Structure 1
Amino acid sequence: MLTRFDRAAWVIPTSALVVIVLVGELGPSIRIVNWLLMVPLLASGVCSPGVTLLFGVIVVVLNRYIDVTHPEVFIRTEDFLLEVTASLLAVLIAVLRSQAHSYVRHLQSSAEATREVVLRPIPPDWGGVETAAHYRAADVEARVGGDFYDVLATPFGARVLLGDVQGKGLPAVSTAGAVTGAFREAGYYEHDLDVVARRMENGLRRHNLLRQAFGDRTERFATAVVLAFPDADPHMVEVVNFGHDGPYVIGPRGVWQLPQQEGAPVGMAELVGGTPAVRRLPLGPQETVLLVTDGVTEARNKAGEFFPLRSWLERLADRRPEGVAPADLLGLLLDALREHTHGDVTDDIALLAVRQRSTADLPAGGSHVA
C-alpha cells in the first residue's frame, strides 16, 4: 500500500507537523519535542529519501527554535540527540522503502508484459466483428492470472477464444500461453474449426509433457469456448465448447445461451475419446455474444449470493430490445458487478463481448486479416 503514494505524499507528514505544533501552542504544558519524532518517521513511510531528510531537518531546527523562544521548556541534550538519530533513521527507512518500491514496480511491469503475451490488446473493430474485452486479476498487485481470451482476424472470418486455466500463479499463466499460442497458430491457418480444436488439445498435451520432464506431475487443463464467424455464412456462428459455461447471446430475440459444457476441458480429450464437436447456430446481425469466466458468475455479494448474470441480461434486453453494442454491454455489466460485490473481487475476471458487423460495413474482400 505504501508504494502507491505519489507526489502528494508530503501532505501526510506536513499535517502531522502542523497538528503537533498547534497542540503545543494551545497546551504549553504538553511536551511536544518527542512527539515531533513522528514527523520524519511518517515521511519515511510515504515520501522520498530527500523529502524525508527535509522533514528531519525541519524537526531538528524546530527543536532549537522551541529551546530559544520558550526557555521555560527544558529540552535536554539527549532529547536533541534523539531527534537527530530518529531523523537519520527515518532517512535510512525511506531509502530502503524507495528501493523496495522500485523493485515492486519492476515486478509489476514484468507481470504486465507477461499478461500481454496471453491477453494482448484487441482493437474494438477487428476481423469483421465489434469487440470489447476486460480482464481483472484477483491479485491486483500481481496483475496476472489464469484467464485468457483472444480474437483472431483470419482468411475465413473472425475467430474468438475465451477460457480459464485450472490453478493459479505462473503455472496457470504458462498453461494459458500454451492454449492461446496453439489457437493463434491453428486458428489462422486451418479452415476447419474441428482441426483448430484438436491442435489446441495437442498443444496443451505437449506443454504438460514438457512440464513433467521438469518434475511437475500436475496435469494442467483449461475450460474454454471457441467461436467462429465464417465470412462464407455471416448469419451463422460455429461453437466448440471445452467444458465451459455457454456464452450468452443478447439481442432482438431476447437472451439465449449457446451450447455449454459439451466436451472435456482442453488437455483432457483422451479421457472422453476426442475433442468436442463443432456446433453451428444462426446468429442475428444485432445480437451480441457475451463470454465470461467463472469469476463473473461466481461473484458473491456480502450475503454470499452469486451474481445473477442471466436475469441481469434479461432485464437489460427488456430495456434495449434493439440490441446492445459490445462496449456498452461490458460497461453496464462491470458497473453491475461492482455494485453486487462492493468492489470485493475474489477471483480472476475475464469478459469478452463480440458482435458481427453487417455485411454492408465490411470492406471489399471480407474481414481484416492480420
Structure 2
Amino acid sequence: MTDRKLPHHRTLYALPYAVMCCVALVDVTAGSGAGFLPLVSLGPAFAGLVGGWQRTAFVGAIALVLCVLLGISDVMFESRRGYIALLSVVGVTVAALLAVRMRHRREEELASVRSIAEAAQRVLLRPVPRSVGRLRAAVSYTSAVAEARIGGDLYEVVISPAGVRLVVGDVQGKGLEAVETAAVVLSAFREAAYDEPDLTCVGERLERALDRQLDGEKFVTAILAEVGSGPEVTLLNFGHPAPLAVRQDGDVRYLSPPQRALPLGLGEHGVARPEPYTARFAPGDQLLFYTDGVTEARDRTGAFYPLEQRAGLLKDPDPEEALTALRQDVIEHVRAPLHDDAAMLLLRYRDG
C-alpha cells in the first residue's frame, strides 16, 4: 500500500510543519528558559513517515535553519545548549533518512510479493469459462487479508464428457499452507473431473489426494456439481454451505443435502461418505455457490449476511455484474474488512 492510499496521508504530510511551527511559537512566547528548542527535531522525525528522502531532507533543512534562528534569538550559542539543539536536528534528520531508505526497501519487497501472488492467482485460480452451451458462469473472490490476492478458498469449472463439472471449496486455516492445500484440491479435481464417470469417483480422487497432503485434523469443505444435458444438477456436498438456487419464477431456496457429511480430509474417521443428490436446474434458473466468508459476514450488531434475502441482486442480465453487486452488498453489510475469504461462483442456465 503506497502512502497516497492512506486515508490520513494529508495529516501525516502536514504534521512535520505543524510541529515545527508549534515549537517555534512556544519558544518565542516562553523564551529560551523553557528549553523547547531541541523539539524542532520532531519535524524531520515525522517527515520520515511518508514521502521520499528529498522531502525528509528538505524538512530537516528547514528545522536546522529554524533552530539557528531561534538559537540566535534566544542567545543560546553562547553556551552548549544551542549547539546541542543543532546536533539533535542533524542526528534526527540522518536517522529519518535511513528510516526512509529502509521503508522504501520494504515497499519494494512488498510490491515483489504482490506480483508473485498475482502470478500464483493466475495459475491457481484460473478464469472460468464464461459460456458453455446454454450455461454462463461468473466468479468473485475477496481475500480477508488486505494485501493478499489469494487465500484458502477455491473454485474451478471443467468441461468434461459428462457435462460441466465444478468445485467450490474452503480450506481450513489461512496463509501459504492453505494456498498449498487449495492447489492440491484443484489439481486433483482438474484431472478427475475429466476422467471419472461420476461425481462420487471425483470425490474419492480428491480424498486420496488430500490424504497424502493433510496432517492431523485439517480439512477442506467442498461442494461438487455436475450439469449434464438434462434440466437438473447433481451435487455432492462435503460439509460445505449449500448452494442457493434462484428459480426463474422467483423461488429462492438452499439445495441442502439429504444428510450432512464430513469435509474432505476427514474420511478416515469412518463416517459415511456423502451421497450425490439432484435438483432441478432449468432454463432461467441460477445457482450460487459460495464459501462461508459470505454467509458468516457480520455487521456491527453481529448479524450474519442475509444471503437468501439478497437474491434479488442477481437479476442483472450480466452474471459478472450481478456478482459484483452482491459482493459490494456484502462489503456494505460488514462496513469493515472481511474476517474470512469470500468466494462466489454464479452458474446460470440461459433461457433461450
Normalising by the smaller structure, the TM-score range is 0.7 to 0.9
Give the alignment of 1:65-214 within 5 angstroms: 71=73, 74=76, 76-125=82-131, 129-208=135-214
Cα distance in 2 between the residues matched to 1:270 and 1:7: 48
Single out whichever of 123-132 and 175-184 deviates more from structure 2: 123-132
Deviations 1:144-171, CA, capped at 9 Å, x for gaps: 4221111223344322211112233332
Partner of 1:340: 333
Q: Contact conserved, 1:198 with 1:275, CA < 8 A, in 2? A: no
Amino acid at match of 2:106: A
Correspondent of 2:40 among 36, 54, 58: 36
Partner of 1:214: none
Correspondent of 2:58 among 54, 65, 75: 54
Q: 1:30 offset after TM fit, Å? A: 5.6
Partner of 1:16: 15
Q: Secondary structure at the match of 1:29?
A: helix
Q: Contact conserved, 2:20 with 2:43, CA < 8 A, in 1? A: no
Partner of 2:222: 224
Q: Secondary structure at the match of 2:48?
A: helix
Structure 2 residue runs of 5 or longer lacking an equivalent are none
Change (3 A) 1:121 1:55: farther
Give the alignment of 1:221-370 within 5 angstroms: 221-230=219-228, 232-233=229-230, 235-253=231-249, 254-260=251-257, 262-272=260-270, 275-313=273-311, 316=312, 325-358=318-351
Single out whichever of 80-89 and 33-42 deviates more from structure 2: 33-42
Q: Which runs of 4+ in 1 moved over 6 A?
A: 7-10
Amino acid at match of 1:247: P
Single out whichever of 122-131 and 21-30 deviates more from structure 2: 21-30
Q: Contact conserved, 1:12 with 1:42, CA < 8 A, in 2? A: no
Q: Secondary structure at the match of 1:290?
A: strand
Q: 1:72 offset after TM fit, Å? A: 5.4
Single out whichever of 258-267 and 180-189 deviates more from structure 2: 258-267
Q: 1:108 offset after TM fit, Å? A: 3.5
Cα distance in 2 between the residues matched to 1:149 and 1:113: 17
Percent of residue pairs bearing the same amino acid type: 31
Amino acid at match of 1:134: S
Aligned residues: 340
Cα distance in 2 between the residues matched to 1:10 and 1:237: 51
Q: Contact conserved, 1:165 with 1:172, CA < 8 A, in 2? A: yes
Cα distance in 1 between the residues matched to 2:317 and 2:224: 22
Change (3 A) 1:129 1:48: farther
Structure 1 residue runs of 5 or longer lacking an equivalent are 209-216, 361-370
Single out whichever of 73-82 and 27-36 deviates more from structure 2: 27-36
Cα distance in 2 between the residues matched to 1:73 and 1:121: 71
Amino acid at match of 2:174: K
Partner of 1:363: none
Q: Contact conserved, 2:171 with 2:221, CA < 8 A, in 1? A: yes
TM-score of the pair, normalised by structure 1: 0.79
TM-score of the pair, normalised by structure 2: 0.83
Cα distance in 1 between the residues matched to 2:341 and 2:349: 27
Q: 1:83 offset after TM fit, Å? A: 0.9
Cα distance in 2 between the residues matched to 1:7 and 1:67: 39
Cα distance in 2 between the residues matched to 1:7 and 1:167: 29
Single out whichever of 26-35 and 292-301 deviates more from structure 2: 26-35
Q: 1:45 offset after TM fit, Å? A: 1.6
Amino acid at match of 1:122: V
Cα distance in 1 between the residues matched to 2:30 and 2:131: 67
Q: 1:351 offset after TM fit, Å? A: 1.4
Cα distance in 2 between the residues matched to 1:349 and 1:40: 42
Q: 1:183 offset after TM fit, Å? A: 0.7
